Amino acid sequence: MTFNALWASREDGAISVELRRIDDAQLMDGDVTVDVEYSTVNYKDGLAITGASPVIRTFPMIPGIDFAGVVAASRHPDFAPGERVLLNGWELSQTHFGGYAQRARVRGEWLVKVPAAFSTRDAMAIGTAGYTAMLSVLALEKGGLTPERGPILVTGASGGVGSVAVALLSQLGYRVIASTGRPEETSYLQRLGASEVIDRRTLSEPGKPVAAPKWAGAVDSVGGHTLVNVLAQTDYRGVVTSCGLAQSTDLPGSVLPFILRHITLAGIDSVNAPQWARTEAWQRLARDLDLAKLGQAETLIGLADVPEIARRILHGQVRGRTVVDVNR
């Protein structure tokens, strides 16, 4: 059988992406074949498709760092035809064909069964960004932060990770401060549960190594001076999670917040996270995420729309979660 896929190739250092028909014989090795229904556009997808960062290591490539669908065939003992599954990260869009196709063949140990509370579309409305947000919330909890400890800051709040983090934290009873460079999204962030919305410019320039504390913890997807200023304004024994680099990969700061205030900086890796961590995150998403709020954060597109959205996401022009209906 043949099916639609976004096909990325590279010539003279430039990446081109086209919609083409391919067949099963062109798929990579794996013991589970999935009829893909939905994928998403994440910041990392933007980096991959535009070539802004060398995410794709093997060409040609089907990009897309996640997908959800139904098992079509399986030689893996944990998965049977007809089961709904999802995949986040691992080698997708790097060295293994990803989710921007109507069919995928992958290793079974990369897959997670879609929780009963979610449809495959819900699973990708959450996607890698939302799963990363949940990993971040779990890290805050494991660091001892409760709603009583004080507010939680979310940077890049109108993006994918930020939107889901705001929704999750507010649902769990935390007071959420949302940082965004898009003031027109204030009402959107308030609907997700933000108690306060601040301008990202208050955090994006060099600041003091230690400043008056304003929050008990934070979920940061920005990095750079923003993350340094977040740390500087975190209260004693606070926890800050780091999962992104929208501003910079640099950390141009001081050790003083760690020494004087016992701050914990927790790195969040969603790509190679062990299966137990993935299962815990998806179980908690099924329990704690308000699907009505998730719906407010979702935009649906087709495969042909992906390259343009991938470009826009790098410029902060995409709100919330972009779901790709691969059959549209």
pTM confidence score: 0.94
- Structural domains of the chain sorted by starting position, each given as residue range(s) with its CATH number in brackets: 2-114+297-325 (3.90.180.10), 128-267 (3.40.50.720)
pLDDT reading at 1 higher than 90: no
pLDDT reading at 264 higher than 90: yes
Dist CA 200 CA 258 (whole Å): 23
Q: What is the pLDDT of residue 52?
A: 92
Residue range 153-187, pLDDT digits in tens: 999 999 999 999 999 999 999 999 999 999 999 99
Nearest to 41 by CA among 112, 109, 97, 98: 98
Given pLDDT bands bounded at 50, 70 and 90, which one contains residue 268? Answer: very high
Q: What is the pLDDT of residue 12?
A: 87
Dist CA 258 CA 219 (whole Å): 17
Residue range 48-71, pLDDT digits in tens: 999 999 999 999 999 999 999 999
For residue 145, the tally of other CB atoms under 10 A from its CB is 24
